[in-house]
Amino acid sequence: MNCVLAHARLVHAPFTVDMAQAALTGLLGAPSDLSPEQILAAVARHYKVSAEQLAGPSRARAVSVPRQLAMYLIRRETGASLPAIGELLGGRDHTTILHGCNKIETQIEADEALRRDWLAIKGKLSEVKASR
């Protein structure tokens, strides 16, 4: 229920059965056929940074926010484990990945620019899935 309500608020849509089905599709549907590397590359392209920078040690906001968004998308789209995502992103600890995912989940609701970036990247990923 929380997921459906959050989705309704996020997309500024009325609470309907169709909207609830759309919100739950990601939870109830099959895992994505996208690889974590594809998602990382899409985030890197969107933010005009390299995948190596996202996996690197930089704490600059220009890199850390895209890195956290990549963590969130990889977790949501592939269901990859926290340690696996941490390994992909430069050997980070699973608690760092959890913190990044939680932070982005909260910020997507509050930060309009981040929400637009998230939706744009998800759109690009949908195009990749559809082309298969």
pTM: 0.76
Task: Report residue 111: phi and psi, to 5°.
Answer: -110, 110
Instruction: Tell me the average pLDDT across 102-119.
Output: 95
Which of 26-35, 45-54, 77-86, 122-131 bottoms out in mean pLDDT, i.e. has the lowest?
26-35
For residue 29, the model assigns a pLDDT of 47
Burial of 10 (0-12, 13-18, 19+ CB in 10 A): middle
Question: Which of 43, 45, 63, 61 shows the shortest CA–CA distance to 53?
Answer: 63
pLDDT category, 21, cuts 50, 70, 90?
A: low
Domains of the chain, each with CATH number or no CATH = 1-30 (no CATH), 33-130 (1.10.1750.10)
Q: Is the pLDDT of residue 40 over 50?
A: yes
